Structure 1
Amino acid sequence: MSTSTSSSAGSRSFADVFDTDVVGRWAAPGRVNLIGEHTDYNDGFVFPMAIDRATTITVGRRGDRLLRVASTFEEGVHEASLDDLDPGEMDGWSAYVFGIAWALGRRLPSVEGLDDATASLDAAFGLDIFVESTVPVGAGLSSSAAIECAVAVCLADLWQLDVTRPFLASVGQLAENDAVGAPTGIMDQSASLLGRADAAVFLDCRSLDAEVIDLGFDAASLELLVIDTHVAHAHATGGYKARRASCEKGAALMGVPALRDVSVDDLPRAAEVMDDETFRRVRHIVTENQRVLDTVRTLRTSGPAAIGPLLDASHVSMRDDFEISVPELDLAVSTAQATGAVGARMTGGGFGGSAIALVPTEARDAVASAVAAAFADAGYAAPTIFAVHAADGARRLD
């Protein structure tokens, strides 16, 4: 890998950096997870939605086997050869791009029907890739998966790979785990690839069966507010890894492959065979899985306004049992609940990031103002508060 410097990163464009001809533009959205936190790597259920904040990449074709990447959010140009991709040498945001190419090389040999050259990427050609994004970084809205999925659909298109969206989600997860070093599950990539307007993706993370479920927020005059606390988090650091280790320990103590196989009725036995901290971690996963199922059922039977108590219960579980909330997130949630939200919870991996609040449209401004005032009174940095809407998944723009 090598890097060359450039200036005025925020204002530059593809043409400022590269001299190849543009062959197309692709985009992939960030995501908000409505409910189902940390259940994905436990083979459980999640219910995320793609949002109308996205990463866009502009791409030019090269005559060699180099991948060169640049962006509006960092000076410099990073490059790597398709013949020398090594996850151990990838770092920074460019790992999300190079990691996808590397992960494709690992996963493609398992795809039936591809010729040897395609499956090994021997037929692939180099690209210049310029990245722009409206997904806030560090807000728990999966800016990383947005980059990965935009690149994944681009490479599949240009390299003529006959692969499915779930396959590309698995490629994104492999890149995140091995190239970036974040032990995340497959939820973020699945949401970014499979999303649809005014709908969320009900995903079984064991079978990878996915069903797109209508939300009906628009018809019910409901909006989803994102409250970005600006408390930084990083999935590759210790807290996330420790939670995953606790889940694996709990599954082993229960004698099951994953916590997906533990039901609410099994929790009394779980309390007997594990220490208190491990039990609380397990209890969050088990009850959160049930809340996902209950949310989907409630949407179908009673409509979106009825899912609020499930969102509220999810936050309590993450705060008290999984212990991944922070005071700023707790304040955002409690203030939203007290000023008109149907339900609210922190979202994402935790230790910072964002909360979400499902609010009647007429209460949106009042809730946002109350949260901002509460943060000011507490001496916290001002949050960024904005509405998001469920959007279509990754796609070619032109």
Structure 2
Amino acid sequence: MARYRFETTEHELFRKSLRKFLTDEAVPHYEQWEKDKLIPQSFWLKLGEMGFLCPQVDGEYGGLNLDFSFGVIIGEEMERVGAGLTGVGLHNDIVVPYLESYGTPEQKKRWLPGCVTGEYITAVAMTEPGTGSDLANIKTTAIRDGDYYIVNGQKTFITNGIHTNLAVVAVKTNPQERHKGVSLLVIEGDTEGFTKGRKLDKVGMHSQDTAELYFEDCRVPVANLLGEEGKGFTYLMEKLQQERLVVALSAQIASEDMFELTKQYIQERTAFGAKIASFQNTQFKMAEMATKMELGRTFLESLIEEHMAGKDVVTKVSMAKYWITETAREISAECMQLHGGYGYMEEYKIARRYRDIPVMSIYAGTNEIMKVIIAKNLGLS
């Protein structure tokens, strides 16, 4: 049964194929990946073999010429397995689109085929130890030296940071400028002066590798400049709409998964001689959560359609990212409570969900920044 109005038989077959693949190749190994705090590169290569990496890429570069709606299906099915697979969505729907939109024909030919096969695992490096939401204030510099940029600086909280061998890095090519001084460089993993720091020990999303990146007199060819020099900030802002939509989608799926886990649990668990599901308080909590999820689902569907139609939905996307991630956090707490003591046990998936959810209201722009954007676009500042 189709979940969206835009779904066709082709979408349903794609989802069915992906779900079977994940059931065989991800679900049985996911707990071990969480313990290892890393998803193996071999899994990325398998995704590539099956056509689940960057399906939107042009056939000329090995892609399937599919639209964002297929990315939506991939994002949903990955999130159902676990939030640790979010790096795949970042690769497919956030980083690779930079290469597609701003790359030269030569750059696309050089990088996109490897992104489709999984030989390249991408990351976007914006955040620095002293700079989060204020991207115009980044300190990493790229000073022109003939046919090279000399890059110096540090990035942190980088998703796919351990595995990445193709990073889109925000740098200051003109340190005297704020917004107009930002450019984007594509830095390959074997570039001298580019090193990776520790794998960061996070509260949740354990299998998703997150790392620090260091650049020390790193010589990057000018041919690796993405788009035009000084337009990096504009490029970042243009792509954040889709990134925030992807985060909202992940939060929605996480909520639906937690709800189903809890529904099953309360229908099986008894207390005081009755099923927990029969208690009025439990029923009210479930009714509240179901209503919030339905509102989120309806809002998301309309947003996806508008985004695919090329409309400017920055305000709505900011609303969705803020509201749906906050709702997911509320639902995670309610579902854990309804699981009672078992909800606090690692053997129950709800415990992992409870840990994984909070960061969704932080990355891709904090929810406070989302409210700033909404207020500004309402004409309040």
TM-score when normalising by structure 2: 0.28
User: Per residue, is there more helix in 1 or in 2?
Assistant: 2
TM-score when normalising by structure 1: 0.27
Name which structure has the greater RCO, CA cutoff 8 Å, separation 6+: 1
